Structure 1
Amino acid sequence: MPYTTEEGGRLNNFAREPKVYTAEPPTDRQKQNYIILGITAAILVGGLIFVAFSVSNVS
C-alpha cells in the first residue's frame, strides 16, 4: 500500500488505482441484443401501464 507521511508524523494511506483500459465499441451481436432488450422492456412497461389503468377504472 502506498503510504505518505504528513506533517506531525501522520500516515496517509491511498487506495490502489485500478488498471486503465479503453472501452471497445459493441459488436453487431451486442447491438442486436440491446435492441431486443429495449423492445422487451418497452412491452413490459406498456403492459404494466395498461394493467394499472385497467384496474384503476374498475368500479
Structure 2
Amino acid sequence: MYTTTDETGRLNNYSTEPEMYLASYPAPEQQRRYMLQGGIATLLISALMLTALAVS
C-alpha cells in the first residue's frame, strides 16, 4: 500500500493497482454459448413481461 502525507499531516492511502492485460477474443464455442445465454435471457424476460401483463 502506498501512503502519502499532505502538508496538514493527514495520511492518504492508495491501493496497489493490479497488473493490466489484454482480453482475448472469445472462441467460437464461447460465442455460441453467449448467444444461447442471450436467447434464454430474452425468453425469460419476455415470459415475465407477458405474465405481468396478463395478471394486471
Q: Which TM class, normalised by the smaller chain length? A: 0.7 to 0.9
Note the residue ranges of structure 2 that are not aligned, 5 or more in a row: none
Aligned CA distance change for structure 1 residues 7 and 44 (closer, same or farther; 3 Å): same
Specify the alignment match of 1:14 in structure 2: 14
What TM-score results when the alignment is normalised by the length of structure 2?
0.75
Amino acid at match of 1:53: L
Q: How does 1:40-51 map to 2 (within 5 A)?
A: 40-51=40-51
Specify the alignment match of 1:23 in structure 2: 23
Specify the alignment match of 1:54 in structure 2: 54
Note the residue ranges of structure 1 that are not aligned, 5 or more in a row: none
Two-structure CA RMSD over aligned residues (Å): 1.8
Larger radius of gyration: 1
Higher strand share: 2
Amino acid at match of 1:33: R
What TM-score results when the alignment is normalised by the length of structure 1?
0.72
Q: State, as a whole percentage, how many aligned pairs show the same letter.
A: 41
CA distance in 1, matches of 2:48, 2:19: 42
